[in-house]
Amino acid sequence: MADYTQMWTDLGLNHDNHNALLDNLGQAYQSIFMTQENRPEGMSYFDFVMSEAHGLRIQELREEQEAGRKIIGSFCVFVPEEIILAAGCTAVGLCAGADFAQEEVEKVLPRNTCSLIKSFFGFKLGKVCPYMEVSDMIVGENTCDGKKKSFEVFKEMVPNFYQMDLPQTKTPMARHMLKQEFKSFVEKLEEMTGKRITIEDLKQGIATVNAKRQALRRLSMLRAADPAPISGLDALLINQIAFLDNPIRFTEKVNAICDELELLIKETKGAKKAKAPRVLISGCPMAIPNWKLPSIIESTGAVIVGEESCIGERGQRNLTDDSADSLEGLMNAIVDRYLKIDCAVFTPNQERVNHIKEMSQQYNADGVIHYGLQFCQPYIMESFSVEKELEKQNISVLRLETDYSQEDMGQLSTRVEAFVEIIK
Amino acid sequence: MRVAGIDIGSRSIELIVLEDGQVVHSKQAESGYNPIERVKELISDVSFDKIMATGYGRGIVEVAFDYPTVTEIKAYGAGATALYPGVRSVLDIGGQDTKVISINEMGKVVKFEMNDKCAAGTGKFLEMMATSLGYQAQTLGAAAQKGTEGIEINSMCAVFAESEVTSLLAKGCDRNDIALAIHQSVCRRAIGMIRRQNISTPLMFAGGVANNTCMVQLLKEALGEDIIIPENPQFVGAHGAAILASQYEPTPY
Ligand code: SF4
Ligand code: SF4
C-alpha cells in the first residue's frame, strides 16, 4: 500500500488510533476472508478495494472533491443515493461495524445503546474514520429512537450535520411527509452545489443506482444454486463495499463476478460443498467490519444464502421507476421506491415477514437465523413475531442477540452449531 | 462395538462407554485448570472403538485428540431419547448454563434455548447461595425442604442475590426459608424458559441440579405433572455423545 500518512494527517485522523484500527482490520480480514477455500477469482477486486478502503478510495474521493464534487456521508439506506448523484455529489455509507474508543463513547451515550450507534460515535471520537472526515455533509435520519436521540449529541461533534426526518408508517400522510423531506434534501444539495437538479440529472442518478441494485440482485439470485457458488461472507462483503465504492465501477465488477459465478454453477462447482446446510440471515444490518456472526455460521460448514438486511436485500431489492418525464414524477417514483423498504422502525411491518418467507424459499434455505444487535428495540421486538410466523410454516428459526464484542463467541458458536445440527 | 462419549463441561467432565447400548463404564472428574490432562487420565484405562466429545470444552479435545464433536444440545437430545424413548423435552440445569431442548416424535432436536451468559438460574447460582448461607451445595436442597414459604428473592443476578441473602440473614430470617426462596427463584427462571418454548411432555430433568430433590419437587408442582429424572442426570450428555459416536460419519461438507 502506498504511503497515505500525509492524507490521513490532512484529514485530522489520529495516527495511533487509526493504525491500531487498520492492524486489527487487516488481521481479521486475513483470518476470516483469505482462509476461505474456492473463492471466485472475481473476489480479488473486492479484496483490493478493502485493502485500499482507507487509502486509494479516500484519495479518489479527495480528487473528486478537488474537482468540485461534494461527498455526502450517511448511515441509512433511506438517504436517497439517486438524488445525491443527480446533484453531482458522491454518496458514501459511514459504516459502523466495530467498537472503538468505548470508554469515550460511554461518557456521552448510555451503556444500553446498540453497538452500531456506539460505533459511529467511537469512530468520530477516536478520529479513525476517513469517510466521516472527508464528508462535506453527514446526513442523519430519524429512524429508531437510538439514532434520533443520539444525533442530538452527534451533531455537536461534526460541523456539517444534516438531519432528515422519516415517517414511521406507510400511510398517505407518511408518503406526503417523506416527499417533503426528500424535496428539502434536494434544496439542501442544490444550495451546497449552487446548481439545480434537472430531469436528466435525476434520470441519470436513477439509472446508475438502479444498475447497481440490479447487479446486486443478480448476485443474490445466483446464490440459490447448490452448491452455493460464493460464500455468504464474500457476498456480504460485496454488499458492504456497495456503500463505499464508485457505483459505476462497482456495478461492472459485480456483473463480472456474476458472469464467473454463472459458469461455476454450470459446472456445478461451488465455494461451499454441495448439500451444505443453508442459512438465511435476517435482521439488523452488518456494517464493515462486522463479520462475526457470518464467520461463525460458515465455520460450521453451513453456507449463508442470503441477507434479509439493509446491507443486503432489504436495502437493494427495489428499483426506482424512471419512466416519468417531469421532476415531480421522478420524485414521486423515488418516494414510492423508498417507502417499500421494510425496516423494523415502521409499523405495521408485515411486509418484512413476507419477504423473509419469500427469500427462504427462493434461496432454498434450511433455516433462518435472526440477528438482533443487543438493545436494538425495533428488530428484537419484531424477532418474536418473525419467529412465530416462520415456525407456522415449518421454517426453523434461531433468534440471536449479540453485539460487536468478542466476549460471547463461545456461546454464539454453540448456539449456531446446534442450530446447524438441527437443520441439516 | 464399544463406543465412548465424553462431556467436557466447565466444571466437570463425564466419560461413558457403551457396549451394545449398555453402560459398561462411567467416570466423572472435575475439569480443573487443565481439562486436556483430565481427559487423558479419564481415557487412560478404558478401551473403545469410537468416541465423540461434547460440552463447553469440546473444542479443545477436537484440537488435542482429533475427536469428532457435537454440541451439548444435540448430545442431551440423543442421550435423553436413548434413555427414555418418547421423551419430548429436556431441561438441563448444569454448572454454568441452563438449557431447554424440544424433541419431536422421531427423537430429533427441533428447538432449544440456552442461558449461558451469566450465573443466573444455574448450578453455580445455587452453589454461591449455599456458601452465603453456610451450607454445602449438596445439602442446600435438603435444607430448603425444611423451609416454609413466604420469602422472595428478587434478583436473578447472583451478585445481587447474594447481598439480598445477606440482608435477609441480618433481618433474622430462617436459613431454611431463605434456601427455599432460592430454589423457588431458580425454578421460576427454568419455568420461564420452558413456557417460552411451548414444550411438549414428558420432560426430562437432567444435569447436576436434577439430583436436588427440592428443585425436582418445585418443578413438578409448577408444571403440574410428573417429570423424568434419569438415574445419573449428569451423564445424559456423555451418554448422548456415545450414541452419536456409534452413528458418526464425517460430514460431507
Ligand atoms: S435497518 Fe432501518 S434504520 Fe437501519 S439502515 Fe435499514 S432502513 Fe435504515
Ligand atoms: S441496529 Fe437497531 S437500535 Fe441500532 S441503529 Fe439500527 S435500528 Fe437503531
Residues B66, B134, single domain; the answer is no
Are the beta carbons of A418 and B112 separated by less than 8 Å?
yes
Ligand 2 closest atom vs CA A145: 8
Distance CA A58, CA A92 (A): 11
Do B31 and B140 fall within a single domain?
A: no
Distance from the alpha carbon of residue B184 to the mean position of ligand 2, in angstroms: 36
In terms of C-beta density within 10 A (0-12 exposed, 13-18 middle, 19 or more buried), how is residue A23 classed? Answer: exposed
Mutate which of A74, A116, A119, A381 for ligand 2? The one with the most ligand atoms within 8 Å of its CB, which is A116
d(CA A351, CA A357) in angstroms, rounded, equals 10
Give the 3-state DSSP-derived string for A167-230, with helices as H, strands as E and coil as C: CCCCCHHHHHHHHHHHHHHHHHHHHHHCCCCCHHHHHHHHHHHHHHHHHHHHHHHHCCCCCCCC
Give the mean model confidence (pLDDT) for residues A22-35: 96
* Nearest CB to A411; choose among B108, B116, B253: B116
Burial of B107 (0-12, 13-18, 19+ CB in 10 A): middle
Give the pLDDT confidence of B185-227 residue by residue, as tens digits.
Answer: 999 999 999 998 889 999 999 999 999 999 999 999 999 999 9
Return d(Cα A196, Cα B16) in angstroms, integer: 78
**B130 assigned to some structural domain:** yes
Q: Do A396 and B110 touch (CB under 8 A)?
A: yes
* pLDDT of res. B62: 82
Least Cα distance to A75 among A204, A177, A161 occurs for A161
When pLDDT is averaged across residues A270-292 and rounded to a whole number, the result is 96
Cα A338 to its chain centre, rounded Å, is 15
What is the number of structural domains in chain B? 2
What number of C-beta contacts closer than 8 Å exist between A and B? 44
Residue-level pLDDT at B252: 65
Query: How far apart (Å, rounded) are the C-alpha atoms in residues A84 and A270?
Result: 38
Per CB-CB distance under 8 Å, the chain A contacts of B252 are: 273-275
Mean pLDDT along residues A261-289: 96
- B61 and B134 together in one domain: no
Q: How far is the CA of A74 from the centre of ligand 1 (A)?
A: 11
Judged by average pLDDT, the poorest of A37-46, A196-205, B157-166 is B157-166
Q: Which domain holds residue B32?
A: 2-80+235-247
Phi then psi for residue A276, to 5 deg, are -65, 145
From the CA of A379, which ligand is nearest? Answer: 2
Would B206 be classed as within a structural domain? yes
Asked if residue A231 lies in contact with residue A298, where contact means CB atoms within 8 angstroms, the answer is yes
Q: Distance from the CA of B108 to the center of ligand 1, in angstroms?
A: 37
CA nearest to B253 within chain A: A273
Chain A residues in contact with B108 (beta carbon < 8 A): 422
Question: Which residues in chain B come in under a pLDDT of 70?
Answer: 252-253
pLDDT at residue A118, as a whole number: 97
Give residues 242 to 281 of A whose Cβ lies within 8 Å of B.
Answer: 272-277
Which residues are B16's β-sheet partners?
B5, B26
Q: What is the pLDDT of residue A54?
A: 97
Do B109 and B68 lie in a common domain?
Answer: no
| Domain contains B13 | yes
* Model-wide pTM > 0.90: yes
Q: Are residues B46 and B141 in the same domain?
A: no
In a domain, B50, yes or no: yes
Residue A342 Cα to ligand 1 midpoint, Å, equals 9
Does one domain contain both B121 and B66?
A: no
Residue A13: which of A109, A101, A75 has the closest Cα?
A101
Cβ of A166 closer than 6 Å to ligand 2, yes or no, is no
Tell me B48's DSSP state: -
In CATH, what number is assigned to the domain containing residue B33? 3.30.420.40
Bridge partners, B204 (sequence order) = B90, B228
Residues B117 and B191 in one domain: yes
- Whether residue B110 and residue A422 make contact (CB cut-off 8 A), yes or no, is yes
Residue B219 shares a structural domain with residue B136: yes
CA dihedral sign, ordered A380, A291, A141, A20: positive
Residue A14 or A411, more confident: A14
Clarify whether residues B212 and B102 are in a common domain.
yes
Q: Is A255 a residue whose pLDDT tops 80?
A: yes
The answer to whether residue B51 sits within a structural domain is: yes
C-alpha cell at A77: 439506506
A43 lines ligand 2 (CB under 6 A): no
Ligand 2 in contact with A144 (CB < 6 A)?
Answer: yes
Predicted confidence at residue B85, as pLDDT, reads 96
For residue A345 and ligand 1, the question of a CB distance below 6 A is answered with: yes
Q: Are B54 and B20 found together in one domain?
A: yes
The residue assigned the cell 465424553 is B6
- From the candidates A300, A411, A421, A424, which should be mutated to test the interface with B, based on the most B CB atoms within 10 A? A421
Q: Which atom of ligand 2 is nearest to the CA of A344?
A: 7
Q: Are B129 and B215 in contact (CB under 8 A)?
A: no
Co-location of B110 and B52 in the same domain? no
pLDDT of A1 higher than 90: no
pLDDT of residue B15: 96
Measured between alpha carbons, how far is B182 from B177 in angstroms, rounded to an integer? 9
Taking a C-beta distance cutoff of 8 angstroms, is the pair A18, A55 a contact?
Answer: no
First-to-last CA distance in chain A? 43
Exposed / middle / buried, residue A355 (Cβ in 10 Å: 0-12, 13-18, 19+): middle
Ligand 1 atom nearest to A144, measured from its CA: 3
* pLDDT value of residue B79: 97
Of all residues in chain A, what percent carry a pLDDT higher than 90? 98
Which residues neighbour B82 within 8 Å (Cβ) at sequence distance 6 or greater?
A: B21, B239, B240, B243
Q: Quick one: what percent of chain A has pLDDT higher than 70?
A: 100
- Hey, what amino acid is at A279? V
* B252 assigned to some structural domain: no
Assess if residue B253 is contained within a domain.
no
Same domain, B149 and B190: yes
Pairing of the two strands B98-103 and B89-93: antiparallel
B72, A414 contact by CB (below 8 A): yes
Count CB neighbours of A393 within 10 A: 9
Name the burial class of residue A100, with classes exposed (0-12), middle (13-18) and buried (19+) by CB atoms within 10 angstroms of its CB. Answer: buried
| Closest residue in B to A271 (Cα–Cα) | B253
Reading the block at residue B124, the C-alpha cell is 453455580
| Residue with CA at minimum distance from ligand 1 atom 3 | A143
* Residue A114 Cβ contacting ligand 2 at under 6 Å: yes
**Whether the CB of A341 sits within 6 Å of ligand 1:** yes
Which residue, among A335, A382, A352, A377, has the nearest Cα to A166 in the 3D structure? Answer: A335
- The finding on whether A84 has its CB within 6 A of some atom of ligand 1 is no
Residue A272 CB contacts under 8 Å (≥ 6 apart), including other chains = A38, A227, A228, A231, A298, A301, A303, B253
pLDDT of B253 reads: 65
- What is the predicted pLDDT for the residue at B69? 94
Mean pLDDT of A45-60: 97
Query: 3-state secondary structure string, B72-98?
Result: HHHHHHHHHHHHCCCCCEEEEECCCCE
Count of CA atoms in the C-beta half-sphere (13 A) of A97: 22
Query: What does the block give as the cell for A327?
Result: 421532476
Task: Specify whether the backbone of B56 is left (phi greater than 0), alpha (psi in -120 to 50) or beta.
Answer: alpha
Residue B227 CA: distances (Å) to CA of B81, B192, B206:
14, 16, 10
- Distance in Å, alpha carbon of B204 to nearest chain A alpha carbon: 19
**Does residue B71 sit within a domain?**
yes
